[in-house]
Amino acid sequence: MLTVHEAGGTEAPIGRPATMVYATSLSEQAVLAAVRAGHTYVKTAGTAGPNLSLTAKRDAGGAAVMMGDSITGRDVQVTATISNSTDGKARILELQRNGVVVKQAPVLTPTATITLPVTQSGRYNIVVERKVGAGVIDAVSSPIYVTVPPANPAVSVAIGGVAKKCVKPKKTAKVTVTTTLTDATLGSVALKLDKKKLATVKRSPATVTIAGSKLKKPGKHTLTAQAMTQAGLKSTTVSKTITVCKK
């Protein structure tokens, strides 16, 4: 639901601006929540100006986000739309990243849309100008914050902590898991013992205790670990052999 707040009297040359708010309802609480979330755009000449829509979505699926929201992925597309441009004025629809135009199109019909596959992190927002070089802005949106993770992140996993040549049958063993990721970027590290799920850790370094019930059979057992970033990118799998002593 789109609500409107018009500014009071002003002598500013841009006219009487109106803040447009995408709120879930017309209640004061819903409007304030939408404003705090940045689900807003401004019409510089009042409510009669053009309407704006700014969304972003991953090709892999998931819900679309709107102006004021954040999204992470290497397959994000940002879509900017202007509508209600019916007064016959020549306008340019601009999609900007960090204040620099990355794509634009003339508005030749009441509704126009541009779509951009995002390759760089940044703040993406809409600016509608009266025409190129005129310096008259008709509308500006709040940004969508896009994070594009690296294609080949430096993700590695090391397993240590089992120093003995062999572990006695039915005795616990402790292993230490470390990664090159920070807590801010680490999603999780999945550990398996003999191809069966053992544990999932979400901090690095982390200590994992292998129960004695999983180390009953004498011989060699394979412990593997694979890290995943919060963006869903996986590391190569590393392994360590744990030997259980013969009785």
Alpha-carbon gap, residue 49 to 133, rounded angstroms: 19
Alpha-carbon gap, residue 101 to 94, rounded angstroms: 6
What pLDDT does 104 receive? 96
CA dihedral 2, 24, 56, 7 (to 10 degrees): 40
Give average pLDDT by consecutive 10-residue segment, the chain, 247 residues. Answer: 52 68 92 95 90 93 92 94 92 96 95 96 95 79 92 56 76 86 85 93 88 90 88 83 86
Phi-psi category of residue 195: left, alpha or beta, with phi > 0 → left and psi -120 to 50 → alpha? left
Alpha-carbon gap, residue 195 to 222, rounded angstroms: 8
What pLDDT does 13 receive? 46
- Whether the bond between 153 and the residue before it is cis, its omega within 30 degrees of 0, is no
| pTM exceeds 0.85 for this model | no
Alpha-carbon gap, residue 123 to 237, rounded angstroms: 35
